[in-house]
Structure 1
């Protein structure tokens, strides 16, 4: 009788459990395919990043000491008007006396930065349909939107009319003294 011997070699002639040249080729081809996929996908993913001109508009700096008391300056940030107003003592007294008005109700102190209560920074778009309100023509000593009749007080809070919200206070910070950075 012939004895059969069980060989420890696999079908490719290599010992069982060890990698062969064919295994290496499969792994290398898979790695190359993944690399090619990443290289093909990168331009598509990178195209979703903001353009350089958009990034340049993302922040703007302004020296608020250029705004005289009782004066308003309009600057542009991200294509939108921003009202920077240096309010008078009478305006501050009037808006602080009317603490929680507007929609949503909020005090004047929530709309300014500590130590800079006289300076108000708001986006210059009516919250109803985006028109640009004019200052000094409203019933409450603030802005009036001539498009549909919204009235804002000197703190930018809605007091009368169809606008659903107060004028928006953008994210801003004081960087040095009286210089603010919006965005």
Structure 2
């Protein structure tokens, strides 16, 4: 396979180190890879290269990466979009899939897991995220915050007001990794 024939993949993540490492690893696997750290650059690259695959961070510089799904699919309706996040929740998973993403993975995810998800025909649900019993109070709180945050398009101040919580308290809660169960 020549580099001309290699599938195009766009990596959109605002963490420069993660973006660089992932783009390099995917290039070593035979992809023609383009990396973007800002939404505008990502859309410009998508228009120029019409990627078959996109790895999209859920949070890009404090803004929701979900806002990019529709314009990315407008460039290439057959594009397979994987939403990758360190802050997975049921609410954002549902939102991502409804908007047209084909997969949703929680960080940390290695290159093999990302490639498996990009090529999968069904949505992959990690076994460790499927709790057999009820969710803990901490996990329920995380899910509720994520749902309200999604309803407010990622706006922290509006979400804090809706939750009747101080903005800094909400920011502290969001900065923590979600509990598994």
TM over 0.5: no
Report the structure, 1 or 2, having the larger helix content.
2
Structure 2 length-normalised TM: 0.23
Structure 1 length-normalised TM: 0.23
